[in-house]
Amino acid sequence: MSLLETIASPADLKSLNRAQLKELSDELRQYILSSVAETGGHLASNLGVVELTVALHKVFDTPEDRIVWDVGHQTYAHKILTGRRERMHTLRQTDGLSGFPKRDESPYDAFVAGHSSTSISAALGMAVAARLKGEERRVVAVIGDGAMTAGMAFEALNNAGAMDTNLLVILNDNDMSISANVGALNSYLTKLLSGRFYNNLRSRGEKILSNLPPVYELARRAEEHIKGMVTPGTLFEEFGFNYLGPIDGHDLDALIPTLVNIRALKGPQFLHVVTRKGKGYDLAEANPCLYHGVGKFNVEVGVTPKVAPRPTYTEVFGRWLCDMAAADERLVGITPAMCEGSGMTEFTQRFPERYFDVGIAEQHALTFAAGLACEGQKPVVAIYSTFLQRAYDQLIHDVALQGLPVLLAIDRAGLVGADGATHAGAFDLTFLRCIPNLLIAVPSDENECRCLLTTAFHYDGPSAVRYPRGTGPGAECSASFETFPIGKGVLRRSGKDIAILAFGAPLGAAMQAAEALDASVADMRFVKPLDRELLRQLAESHARLATIEENAVMGGAGSAVAEALAEMGITIPLLHLGLPDRFVEHGDPAVLMARCGLDATGIERSIRDWALPT
């Protein structure tokens, strides 16, 4: 039996000596590698955080002590050590373990963290709650993988440093590596600076010298100067944190004593830990970006690029972006840290001077785009639907209110499969539709995606084109820059009695269902402005109407249809099909669509049950 197999909970780590913990870390890393190879998931970040996870659960008394992970895709080692090892084969699968922390999955998951940069705020709330209740628990926020680029993290640091609350923030810095000499020196200094002797001496010195202000200020500046020579912590000290580090995040002999020392300290503490993404797997260390998120793969061979049978919507966007940039030098491309995911790699190579990655800073991305638009540029912001939610105020106040020509290329609209509820683009039509001046287009295939992107780019105002993850039906894309009449849909099939109004990607399933129902199908193309003329024609020539969208039913495209019919004084039975009023969990995309009733069978069944009740 391996050492890992004896670990049922973090309590089992308490009796292990340092040598055993190192052995456990090696086994844990290999288990993560083999497990993710079978299921797919986030690999490089999880390989890099193994020793830190072991040390945290060794030193802190979880789940009584709280650990908040940020971003949540670095928690596989945490899941394995907290009683979920035997379920790792279900990771990100339908009805299986989530790829992110999930409060109703385990008491050890203190906070859901699918989006980044939330850990310090949440952990501060937990620490303050413990103080208000007179509880002695410790709270740790582990933030990394670029999450410190977001303004929210610094807002939380600013607040936490002024509250004198017992909070430990660990910066998991995996952007660089420490050389052996520097690592050893900094590990020694960090253990020294976190120890009781130094902190007691520091505390007593403050009390004595506080009565001699000039001397106290001189001593304070001297301490900052000495720390500044060996650590990069001045910024965090200014926020009110006691900065410690950097420390080698793979050295348990440094990590554990340091965490033990810090656990005994009062007030806000900041520990800078340096780890290496992909640690222990040469291929992932050499290319951590490729191994950030992977599908199933052979460990010996490594990840082999999959050749899709047809281009994904993301690739369609990427090709259009390059073509349009070549045709219009005003185009600039902006992404909040999602270059590869949004299909912008070729654009960065061909037009580097017009490419801007602003980091995990969605709010800034929108207002930055607004500033560019004010000066005559044509910004295209490539952003996931779920991340656009974080920039809602900027979209309204800085872009739409001023009527600026900023194009939102909204990827991952609708369900996203294995990434689950935290990443699903379930709400964009609902929260976008109420914004004045905003054009909203919903392509149903690859060519429509290209044409609607072109249409929106030439629109003199803010616009959004939303498209799903993955491949479309296989429509051949035109190489030209064809545009569509704004606010006009097209009738795809003529039938009897029932007309289905399809918005975007569900058109294919609607067409299949219509064959069995002998229903008419309209490809609406636009949610705003809505094709009211086509809507009136369909209402006058059919007995019933049904709408379908891969968006929340509440307030979505179907609601726009209902509102338009009411305004036109048309009364007709109307069925809304879309995502249900709940968060849809992770799993196989086809299974999830079927469960939501949005596959062809589900659409047909829902319409029959509604139109032809028994």
- Give catalytic residues, as residue numbers: 277, 362, 390
Residue 567 CA to its chain's centroid (Å): 38
8 A C-beta contact, residue 233 and residue 244: yes
* CB within 8 Å of 384: residues ≥ 6 apart: 338, 341, 342, 410, 411, 412, 423, 425
d(CA 354, CA 374): 16
* CB within 8 Å of 140: residues ≥ 6 apart: 56, 60, 65, 66, 67, 68, 123, 168, 169, 170
Burial class (CB in 10 A: 0-12, 13-18, 19+), 180: exposed
Burial class (CB in 10 A: 0-12, 13-18, 19+), 301: exposed
* Element containing residue 465 per DSSP (H, E): strand 463-466
Say which amino acid occupies 101.
P
* CB within 8 Å of 150: residues ≥ 6 apart: 116, 117, 359, 360, 361
The number of beta carbons lying within 10 Å of the beta carbon of residue 213 is: 9
* CB within 8 Å of 592: residues ≥ 6 apart: 94, 415, 417, 584, 585
Q: Which residue from 374, 301, 270 is spatially nearest to 332, judged by alpha carbons? A: 374
d(CA 466, CA 412): 8
| Residue at token pair 């799903």 | 468
* Element containing residue 605 per DSSP (H, E): helix 600-611
Residue 504 CA to its chain's centroid (Å): 23
Bridge partners of residue 307, in order along the sequence: none
List Cα–Cα distances, 20 to 58, 73, 76, 310, in angstroms. 12, 26, 20, 50
- How many CA atoms are closer than 13 Å to the CA of 397, on its beta-carbon side? 8
The number of beta carbons lying within 10 Å of the beta carbon of residue 181 is: 8
